[in-house]
């Protein structure tokens, strides 16, 4: 893996989580192929490497569409709608509360 990384065929993203108690935890690194690495896989006739290259290029061009964007024409909720939603939430929360038996 170190040889592939030195050759520029893969990249490694270190992942670190800071816990609420102040400790630090390191997760395993995310490894991704570079364009150069994907072209090498295509030349070696690895299955689905062309699809992986197309997906990588689409991601680089922000054409991935993996995460939803704001809908066009979406309007913000009005104060009246927010109040109604808040009352529905409160009634739902209160309906689940049962008094302890005496």
Q: What is the pLDDT of residue 68?
A: 63
The torsion of the CA quartet 59, 65, 68, 74, rounded to 10 degrees, works out to 120
77 pLDDT tier (thresholds 50, 70, 90): confident
62 pLDDT tier (thresholds 50, 70, 90): confident
The whole-model pTM stands at 0.53
Helix (H) or strand (E) holding 80: helix 79-95
Q: What is the mean pLDDT of residues 23-48?
A: 90
């Amino acid at each position: 893996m170190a040889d592939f990384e030195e050759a520029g065929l893969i990249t490694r993203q270190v992942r670190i989580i800071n816990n609420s108690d102040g400790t630090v935890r390191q997760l395993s690194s995310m490894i991704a192929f570079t364009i150069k690495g994907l072209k090498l896989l295509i030349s070696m006739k690895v299955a689905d490497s062309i699809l992986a290259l197309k997906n990588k290029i689409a991601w680089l061009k922000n054409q991935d569409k993996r995460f939803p964007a704001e809908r066009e024409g979406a309007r913000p909720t009005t104060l009246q709608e927010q109040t109604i939603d808040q009352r529905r939430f409160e009634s739902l929360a209160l309906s689940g509360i049962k008094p302890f038996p005496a």
